[in-house]
Structure 1
Amino acid sequence: MKQLPSVSHQSLLFDYVSFCRSINVNIMKSIISVGSSSASNRLFLQQEFYNLFMKKCSELKYLDMRSIEHQIFNFPEAKLRFESLYELKCDTSIDSSYFYGLAHISQYIQKIIVVNNAKTKANFGVVKLIEVQKNLKYFELIDDHYIYAPGPDRDSYKEILLALEKNANIITHLNIYFIFISRTSPNVFPKFLKLKTLITGFGFSFSKEQLKMCVYRELEIFKIDYYDLKAASIIIENSGGRLKKIFLGSSYELDDYISDFDDDSLIFIRRVYENCLSIEHLSLVFPPSEQHFDEFEKLLKTCQNLKSLLLVIYMNEVEIEEEILFENGEELLKILIKSAPINLREIRFLYDVKFSLESLEEFLEKWRGRPALSIFTCRSIYKEENYVRLINKYKDNRIIKDFRCESFDNVVNENFKM
């Protein structure tokens, strides 16, 4: 039998562990694996780590328990260490017994992030943990759709949504993107009356009448899919006028024909300037028609607090002549220079729009006297020598703060900063 490694209990000059407030199981396991190739040795060292942590650490604020292999919630000191837990990250492939153990001792978790990657039925341990919470403010469900797939007649979100319903009056941040149809969500979502942040994709789960029941008067941050403009307009219309950030996004690029796109995008622009006078960060997607440009200009004149814009000009066509792209860009820059609010400092451009050298120079020349502008795009044309020379000229004059050609993912990612 292979001898297990000896563990030294010699005291350190400084008691680092007593100041520890977080555990990330994956990181801890990675560190241990560097010094031991034996699975039994690694398990032993993990056990010793948890023993030391339970004895030394006064309280725990953050736990990422993905890939956990030890019943640490059964330790004698567990209640004292975990009753102050603030944030938890986990996944549904973990055995439910771990969650039942944690539910018994941690009932004031404020932030829970669940990765939904179980291949079978719902994890009722996770459901129980959510149910017993008394101060849950933030909940996020991440579907690992490459692994997880529900049965054809199964509402894969039902049990978790019903558990969240018991905390609906205190949850302020909700992030659930429905990859699969959820028949339960239309009954539960109207009950989240205190939401300040909503990140979701309603998809085919909600009818128009059901969406109108979702009234969030305290909503400040709203993110939804490009393809959900109809739903977005209804949510915005029923918001309380406090929205500061509206993001349209997707994990994939627009590459299909969008039903009712012209009408829905027009209504979306109108709902924003009618209901969101405090908006600071905004995503818009619309075709380059005269009517849409007119409504966009009204929005710029009305929403004077705007600081950043993501403009997705999308023509819903397969092939577009380059001359048309330059015409779209010229019209867009004319509107921006004429009507952009003074606080606007960042613009991101996507899809069916290009700026000729002449139009871009005219725009930048007329931008003088305003705050320096940051521009994001994924068009490689702006890496050409003539454009680089022009951009550097206006950077030197402090008219441009930054001009970047980035990947599609970075341009649409509101958290990616220049």
Structure 2
Amino acid sequence: MFNYLLFIKHLEATAISSMICDGINYKSADKRYHQFILEEEIYKLFMSECSLKSLELDHIKHQIHHFPGAYRCLADLVELNTNSSIPSEIFFGLSRICKRIKKIYVYFDYIDEENYGFVKLIQVQQNLKRFVCTKSFDNNNDPSEELGLALTSCSQTLTNLESRFKREIFLPPRIFPLFRNLKILQLLNDFLSESYEEQLQVSSYPNLEILYIKNISPYTISKIINSTTGKLRKILIQYNIGDYSNCLIQSIIEHCPNVEILSLIIDMDNLLYFVKLLDSCRQLKGLLIRLSDENYKYRIDEEREKDGKRFLNALLRSSRHLFQACYSDTTISMKCVIRHDELRLYPP
């Protein structure tokens, strides 16, 4: 008989739990008991027959590392998608087996205390490339010093760091200058305190290719860009217009000759820096422009169309080779009325 289990490389705990729950017809107490037993037997079967590359663990109740065959099944794991609410004991067990994980995605539930098992799992990794942490709720927990310290032990191999938090990052600010080998940095948080900005300003990312960051000052962004070495291909940034906005554009001109995708805030009264940028960044394929004028939304269509023409004239004078068409909310033509303070430009 052919053993199909040998070909399974990805396992989702959520899918297993959901299928069992839907298929069991017992009353509440008995259903929970039989669900637990059946899940246990299924995990034992997978541990004994599979060699997994990817594992999704979400609210798992079983210490799968104790099941027969667990070492052979999990030793070559390269991707883990998990949740901070999983008991430390399970992570401690995995840390004895899984030492070559390349990608870790973790969702932080409400945090009362450090999950030392998860910290240990990070600490023992020998080739961690990507770390993505997400937290959608809002609380006032301090940054995780232990987790930050564990991540620094992977600083030589880590090339992709992503944080998507409701408010501030759950990682201590002092660790960011240590990740010099980053190729991708994404900080999509609703708030960044001054301490994070200070540490990012003194960080150096010579290999950075993608920068996606929001709620940060243009000065800090310009300092990050100044630390790069011309490899940036994508810059997606959300910031408040300020005294250093032109300085930011100048940094892109000087340090990003190969940028392909770019978002910026432009002051329509000063297109000089924007024209210089178009002359310098010859690889541009996509551009998202936002206007800085707070009163712009109150202007009539005729004024918006006039500004659109000014913008397009600057665009065409400097970079006719870059864009074949201009797309706005309502038109696909060389006549452009900027609406909703935004203009999108990219090839057809």
TM-score per shorter chain, which class? 0.7 to 0.9
Q: Which residue of 2 aligns with 1:42?
A: 35
Amino acid aligned to 2:46: F
* Cα pair distance change 1:347/1:82, threshold 3 Å: farther
Shift of 1:207: 6.6
Shift of 1:378: 7.6
Map 1:338-417 → 2, pairs under 5 A: 338-340=317-319, 342-344=321-323, 361-363=333-335, 401=348
* Cα pair distance change 1:178/1:51, threshold 3 Å: closer
Please say which of residues 274-283 and 177-186 is displaced more in the overlay: 177-186
Question: 2-side partners of 1:246 and 1:345: how far apart?
Answer: 21
Q: Which residue of 2 aligns with 1:212?
A: 201
Question: 1-side partners of 2:326 and 2:222: how far apart?
Answer: 22
Retained in 2: the 8 A contact 1:348–1:377?
A: no
Retained in 1: the 8 A contact 2:176–2:199?
A: no
Amino acid aligned to 2:312: L
* Uncovered stretches (5+) of structure 1, i.e. residues with no partner: 1-12, 365-375, 380-398, 402-418
* Cα pair distance change 1:85/1:210, threshold 3 Å: same
Q: Which residue of 1 aligns with 2:130?
A: 138
Cα RMSD between the aligned structures? 2.9
Question: 1-side partners of 2:325 and 2:119: how far apart?
Answer: 42
Q: Which residue of 2 aligns with 1:95?
A: 87
Question: 2-side partners of 1:31 and 1:191: how far apart?
Answer: 44
1:277 pairs with one of 254, 257, 260? 257
1:313 pairs with one of 287, 291, 295? 291
Question: 1-side partners of 2:324 and 2:11: how far apart?
Answer: 39
Scaled by the length of structure 2, the TM-score of the pair is 0.86
Query: Partner of 1:121: helix, strand, or coil?
Result: coil
Asked whether 1:159 is paired with 2:146, we answer: yes
Retained in 2: the 8 A contact 1:182–1:205?
A: no
Amino acid aligned to 2:229: G
Retained in 1: the 8 A contact 2:49–2:69?
A: no
Question: 1-side partners of 2:325 and 2:82: how far apart?
Answer: 36
Q: Which residue of 1 aligns with 2:210?
A: 221
Question: 1-side partners of 2:297 and 2:181: how far apart?
Answer: 45
Instruction: Give CA deviations for 1:1-31 in whole Å, capped at 9, x if unaligned.
Output: xxxxxxxxxxxx5422110001111122222
Question: 2-side partners of 1:126 and 1:400: how far apart?
Answer: 44
Query: Partner of 1:81: helix, strand, or coil?
Result: helix
Query: Partner of 2:60: helix, strand, or coil?
Result: coil
Asked whether 1:302 is paired with 2:260, we answer: no
Q: Which residue of 2 aligns with 1:119?
A: 111
Q: Which residue of 2 aligns with 1:27?
A: 15
* Cα pair distance change 1:207/1:20, threshold 3 Å: closer
Retained in 1: the 8 A contact 2:325–2:347?
A: no
Shift of 1:47: 1.7
Question: 2-side partners of 1:106 and 1:22: how far apart?
Answer: 15
Amino acid aligned to 2:321: I
Retained in 1: the 8 A contact 2:83–2:108?
A: yes
Retained in 2: the 8 A contact 1:307–1:346?
A: no
* Cα pair distance change 1:50/1:211, threshold 3 Å: closer
Question: 2-side partners of 1:235 and 1:346: how far apart?
Answer: 32
Shift of 1:94: 1.2
* Cα pair distance change 1:400/1:116, threshold 3 Å: closer
Query: Partner of 2:35: helix, strand, or coil?
Result: helix
Retained in 2: the 8 A contact 1:303–1:341?
A: no
Shift of 1:309: 1.1
> What is the count of residue pairs matched by the alignment?
335
Instruction: Give CA deviations for 1:296-348 in whole Å, capped at 9, x if unaligned.
Output: 11111110111111112232348522233333322222222332363447877
2:57 pairs with one of 65, 70, 83? 65
Q: Which residue of 2 aligns with 1:173?
A: 160
Retained in 2: the 8 A contact 1:285–1:312?
A: yes
Amino acid aligned to 2:206: R
Q: Which residue of 1 aligns with 2:304?
A: 325
Give the fraction of aligned pairs with identical amino acids, expressed as a percent.
30
Retained in 2: the 8 A contact 1:311–1:347?
A: no
Question: 2-side partners of 1:318 and 1:362: how far apart?
Answer: 21
Retained in 2: the 8 A contact 1:82–1:105?
A: yes
* Cα pair distance change 1:235/1:309, threshold 3 Å: same
Question: 2-side partners of 1:321 and 1:296: how far apart?
Answer: 22
Question: 1-side partners of 2:196 and 2:112: how far apart?
Answer: 28
Question: 1-side partners of 2:68 and 2:161: how far apart?
Answer: 34
Scaled by the length of structure 1, the TM-score of the pair is 0.73
Retained in 1: the 8 A contact 2:89–2:117?
A: yes
* Cα pair distance change 1:348/1:245, threshold 3 Å: farther
* Cα pair distance change 1:90/1:347, threshold 3 Å: farther
Retained in 2: the 8 A contact 1:186–1:205?
A: no
Q: Which residue of 2 aligns with 1:286?
A: 266
Question: 1-side partners of 2:248 and 2:262: how far apart?
Answer: 12
